[in-house]
Structure 1
């Protein structure tokens, strides 16, 4: 990627100068997220010992638009996979070509959470670290994060997807900058579905057409757990957990309605199993026209030789009103560690990294990251990529995974309710079951 980003920027500047008046959104894994508080992390590769990679400033220079430069060393802790690290290093080299007085150092930590919790309080932590947004609550409550409120402006926030803006903050303070996201969407087989569903009614018609259980063929493949069905469970305004009040919402009429809708309108067209691998195999074997899954599943879809597309879960029309499914989504953040030694240089690098469209585009094309910088989602190359663009559109409707540490008590309760419903979905007392597990979650929260 050397010269790539700044070459693109230079071309853009030259072009604008000519026309004058012209005008001009992890590493690859195949595992499903577990229903735990850290489920949106990027399944980093485990290593046996920490390794440090220092990216030194290249000697060559590249003419490019002015960027804000600090000075000194900026240390970033991470647990990325090798292919991710390679791209991040290349991007850092581009920045240092413009800012030769800055040294960006990446340090691999095999157990990042424990390393941070041990090092930051003793003043031995990094300037920055990279992880999913769902650490922001527990790390901020523990005093392990540095606020960046003084740096955040409306001009910065306006270019990010709403979910990404939410992922930057906790209890009134900004602690991180976002660069990618993930959520679930419909992955459809183009050989079976010529036009993807734009409404739930169209989706249901496709499910009805292909549902043939006697021949082990089904209308849709959809793993069932708290994470995967969150889009429908929260579609009508309900929720598992409200970050603002830090209270669960399984007993809300809107949440009950969402669960009832899933198990009466979608489950009847599915294979009778909640198992992730079984559901995915049904789609990969051509026994279902659609699958609900995340970007981590795309490698397996490609290996199966399926000509596929990706679209958001379609809106549901009920009583004359349109409701968009709101699946849980996760955001990848660059955090500012408490007591960081070089805040000014760290901010200038992170701001450039997360708000420069060419950088985010490079992450998307090289690593399959779903952009949260809105201008990138409109880039022709991104639009041409069915995976990135499709999941990028799905992110626009996603419901940010709660940031509060109390969310840890919610996953087990929701999965318990799902397990009980699955014992007899056709005759389940949804209201009684969800109210029962609402109380269990409250008890578990009180004892945690």
Structure 2
């Protein structure tokens, strides 16, 4: 009996041992051991460098937005660097491979930077659905010769700003504008009818009013000698500037007249709003008044710029997905664009925000958006660089009385043709 028990115990032990060996050995059809999962690789940190020349108030808002982006994208760091002379710095750095990944500026640099091989196309990220999210002026701004080189942030143009404590009903027609300017003009009391910087950009509204133009981006031709361009300039100078405005071209001097209550009207852009608010002036915005002539209506059409993120040729391919993540967050995100609009007065170019209640209820933003409907996109061609200087010289000669408006513009036209090699 005892022996039988011992044999039974020994047999049981042997069976258990065999079973254990089978599990350990893995032979003979036993289930293979489940491997421990390998740890997922940690995504590498990406640093995106952005150069800019925005004002201090703008910088603070951008940096706050960047912090929000980084909080939800922990593997992307954004370096936001101020550059005093942005164009010169970029032109030196990018060809040397030392430039940023992105920079911020108006769209009118796109031609010369693309022709200089300093930009990187982002065509593979730009779909028709994305383009359709923007108003036409913005989608056109980021394209050059069939390629897309960045994403639009906001639009900007100039409009008529008025002092509500001096004017209850702003002028709706050019004739009303002239009569109002005449009413307030009294240089002996240091009062002037209208304030406006006198330079090619600000005067573009009048050059375009009757269908004239500085430069045609499509035909690559200048139009300073066109009758319509001359007519627009003559209207402004002869009916407003020489009669009812301070005889200075200087931006700060003209701006000071409005800020100090010495002019009831000012033509300026979104960048001027903070200074106007800080001055305590009770102000409103309205369209630059239409011109009614022989039963027809003509609208002064100022140049429009589109502030955008440019992608530089220095942006490496392995960063592009991260760069696109940032660009889409900054430019397609309604919350981001509304922040820029409500805090800085940036004019939204996202279609979805045009009828947004917060945007429509802001008189500044809505005022500039309204003027933007009549604006003309600044030329993108590099050739435009040969146009600004001669126009500026012509304006100086007009203001000083050295030349007539027609002669000064025709002389500028010849200089431009010479510079473009078309004379």
Please tell me the TM-score bracket, short chain as reference.
Answer: 0.7 to 0.9
Return the offset for 1:214.
4.5
Residue correspondences, number: 376
Q: 2:369 aligns with which of 388, 392, 405?
A: 392
Which residue matches 2:94? 120
Match of 2:49 among 76, 81, 91: 76
Q: Deviations over 1:383-435 (max 9, x none)?
A: 3333222223222322222222222222221122222223449xx74333321
> Is the partner of 1:322 in helix, strand or coil?
strand
Who is 2:268 aligned against?
293
Cα distance, 1:310 vs structure 2: 1.6
Closer, same or farther: CA 400–188 of 1 in aligned 2, 3 Å: same
Which digits, 9 at most, give the CA deviation of each residue in 1:109-140, with x for residues without a partner? 45544444344345444332222222211110
Return the alpha-carbon distance in structure 1 between the equivalents of residues 92 and 400 of structure 2: 45
Please give the TM-score of this superposition, normalised by the length of structure 2: 0.80
- Give distance in 2, aligned partners of 1:223 and 1:320: 30
Query: Do the aligned residues in 1 keep the contact of 2:50 with 2:78 (CA within 8 Å)?
Result: no
Q: Which residue in the other structure is 2:21 paired with?
A: none
- Asked if the contact 1:243/1:402 (under 8 Å) is kept, the reply is yes
1:419 counterpart SS class: helix
Q: 1:159 to 1:397 in 2, by over 3 A?
A: farther
1:415 aligns with 2:392: yes
Tell me, in whole angstroms, the C-alpha distance in 1 between the residues paired with 2:179 and 2:44: 60
CA distance in 2 between counterparts of 1:142 and 1:249 reads 26
Asked whether the equivalents of residues 311 and 390 of structure 1 are also in contact (C-alpha less than 8 Å), the reply is yes
Q: Given the superposition, is the C-alpha separation of residues 263 and 248 from structure 1 closer, same or farther in structure 2, using an over 3 Å criterion?
A: same
* Shift in Å, 1:144: 1.1
For 1:332, the equivalent position in structure 2 comes to 307
What TM-score, normalized to structure 1?
0.76
Aligned equivalents of 1:334, 1:407: Cα separation in 2: 21
Label 1:130 to 1:76 Cα distance change in 2 as closer, same or farther (>3 A).
farther
Secondary structure in structure 1 of the residue aligned to 2:162: strand
Residues 435, 108 of structure 1: alpha-carbon distance in 2 compared, 3 angstrom cutoff? closer
Structure 2 runs not aligned, ≥5 long: 1-42
Shift of 1:258: 0.9
Moved more, 376-385 or 310-319: 376-385
CA drift of 1:218 comes to: 2.5
The Cα shift of 1:100 comes to 4.2
Aligned to 2:350: 373
User: Paired residue for 2:292?
Assistant: 317
The answer (yes or no) to whether the contact 1:220–1:291 under 8 Å persists in 2 is: yes
- Whether the 8 Å CA contact 2:48–2:76 is kept in 1: the answer is no
Distance (Å, rounded) in 1 between the aligned partners of 2:81 and 2:396? 42
- Map 1:48-59 onto structure 2 (within 5 A): none
Which one is further off, 293-302 or 82-91? Answer: 82-91
After TM superposition, give the deviation of residue 81 of structure 1 in Å.
4.5
Asked if 1:240 is matched to 2:214, the reply is: yes
Instruction: Return 5+ residue gaps in structure 1 as ranges.
Output: 1-69
Specify which of 158, 161, 166 is matched with residue 135 of structure 2: 161
Query: CA 1:404/1:281 → structure 2, altered by over 3 Å: closer, same or farther?
Result: same
Where does residue 160 of structure 2 map in the other structure?
Answer: 186
Structure with the higher helix share, 1 or 2: 2
Asked whether 1:200 is paired with 2:177, we answer no
- 2:117 aligned with 1:143: yes
Asked if 2 retains the 8 angstrom alpha-carbon contact of 1:161 and 1:396, the reply is no
* Aligned-residue CA RMSD (Å): 2.7
Secondary structure (helix, strand or coil) at the match of 1:228 reads helix
Q: Quick one: distance in 2 between partners of 1:286 and 1:109?
A: 34
Secondary structure (helix, strand or coil) at the match of 2:419 reads: helix
Distance 1:76 1:415, change over 3 A: same
Alignment counterpart, residue 129 of structure 1, candidates 90, 103, 107? 103
Contact 1:78/1:131, CA 8 A, preserved across alignment: no
